[in-house]
Amino acid sequence: MRDISALSEFPLDILFDDGRRATYPTDRVNDLDLAYALTVHKSQGGEWKKVLLVLPPERSPIFNRNLLYTAVTRAKEELWIMGDKKTIDYMISSQYSETRMTALKEFLSDPA
């Protein structure tokens, strides 16, 4: 991928790791927007017009209905979800657990 900060010529040609290529001519450069990626946890309390939720294919103990709800409700106008339908179904059917999986006790008792 090209270093955008050092870009001084157009058209902007981007080669992605998977071999796809995107070219933006000079008259289309204003169509590009600055974007950020956040975890669902970091996004709590925030809202954005457009949200892309990317779910990895492997399941995680933190994938539950509450996390999905938090992620989905960050979008004010548009939401796209990229992920396996099985992962989404798993999250919908998973109940929140009061059991917290942390190492806080060990961390606090470590003399280092």
Which tens digits make up the pLDDT trace of 65-106?
989 999 999 999 999 998 888 989 999 998 766 666 677 788
Whether the full predicted model's pTM is greater than 0.85, yes or no, is no
Residue with structure tokens 């939720």? Answer: 53
Does 3.90.1150.10 match the CATH number of domain 34-98?
Answer: no
Domain boundaries, the chain: 1-32, 34-98
| DSSP-assigned states of every residue in 67-106 | HHHHHHTTEEEEEEEES-HHHHHHHHHPPP-S-----HHH
> What pLDDT, on a 0 to 100 scale, did the predictor assign at position 50?
87
Q: Residue 5 above 70 pLDDT? A: no
Does the pLDDT at position 21 exceed 60?
A: yes
Q: What is the overall mean pLDDT for the chain?
A: 79
Please name the helix (run of DSSP H) or strand (run of DSSP E) that holds residue 48, with its range, or none: strand 48-54
Question: Would you state the pLDDT for residue 2?
Answer: 41
Distance CA 112, CA 99 (A): 27
